[in-house]
Amino acid sequence: MQYSMEGLDFNSIPTFTCEGVEMPKERAVQIWKLTYKTIEEFVKEVISGNPALNQILGYISDNWDDAEEVTFEECFKEPNIEIRRLLFRGIGMEVMMKELKPELLGKETLIHKQIKWDDDNDQLDEVTHNKEVYELYKIEGTKFRSEKELEGKDEWEIRRMNYDTVYAVRCWCCSTDREYWIYVPEHACKNFDPIEAIAWTVRLNYTDPLFIMRQGDVIIAKNSPTSVECAPYHLDKETYSQLLVAAS
């Protein structure tokens, strides 16, 4: 079936914007289905408040039943962190926790300096401090396997299949309060310290930064007079905690 809006053919459009995130339209339908379960609920919760979406309702209705159910593995493998967030939210944390049984390795609050600016972009004299909560989790790779895949396997075989144990930092954006899961390597988790793990996610290639600022996933580091280009290195907990002066 063809769908048109002022001559626009929705079949030829590769992406939809789902909650502000542009993604393949098939993925958008999967997320809406995951989140709202029925097309009636989707219409009630989403379309009613956004009449403009009526234009794509035909496409969504026609593809609703055929949209494949998203597996946990698929959610975790989604490379785009915003789409991953919407998938996790669609499944629901309660379900994820129950099914995947992530092991909480540590929970810490990072308190860091927070510079702010007024409307004229002048720095405010008052320096506040920001609190960011981080949780570090471990999820066994077998949790992503179906019972059928594990059937008949001995402990050794299952351990061999467990190559993709996931270590992830669960954190919340200080601007939007959205929840994110960021993957980290095992060696960044050896002390079960989520701040050490999140520090690893900042990788620089200039030495001796004066400070760093973070806006979402973007990191800004100010070079010092002694800064020189170097091989990429990951920050440690102490350096990250000391250098971070603003996060939004």
Q: Which residues bind another protein (CB under 8 A)?
A: 20-22, 76-77, 79-82, 116-117, 121, 123, 141, 164-167, 173, 175-176, 182-185, 188, 201-206, 209-210, 213-223, 227, 229, 234, 246, 248
**In terms of Cα–Cα distance, which of 192, 182, 222, 190 is closest to 206?**
222
Q: Name the residue nearer to another protein (CB basis): 2 or 128.
A: 128
Q: Name the residue nearer to another protein (CB basis): 2 or 121.
A: 121
Q: Name the residue nearer to another protein (CB basis): 179 or 217.
A: 217
CB of 40 to another protein, least distance (A): 30
CB of 229 to another protein, least distance (A): 7
CB of 84 to another protein, least distance (A): 10
CB of 45 to another protein, least distance (A): 22
The vertex-205 CA angle with 203 and 209, nearest 5°, equals: 85
Q: What is the DSSP string of the chain?
A: ---EETTEEGGG--EEEETTEEEEHHHHHHHHHHHHSSHHHHIIIIITT-GGGHHHHHHHHHHHTTSPPPPHHHHHH---HHHHHHHHHHH-HHHHHHHH--EEEEEEEEEEEE--B-TTSPBPS--EEEEEEEEEEEE-GGGGS-HHHHTT--HHHHHHHGGG-EEEEEEE-TTT--EEEEE--GGGGTT--HHHHHHHT-EEEESSEEEEEEETTEEEEEEPTT--EEEEEEPPHHHHHHHEEEE-
Q: Name the residue nearer to another protein (CB basis): 34 or 247.
A: 247
CB of 128 to another protein, least distance (A): 12
Q: Name the residue nearer to another protein (CB basis): 66 or 229.
A: 229
Q: Name the residue nearer to another protein (CB basis): 42 or 188.
A: 188
CB of 226 to another protein, least distance (A): 12
Return the bridge partners of 179, or none. 172
CB of 39 to another protein, least distance (A): 28
Q: Name the residue nearer to another protein (CB basis): 37 or 222.
A: 222
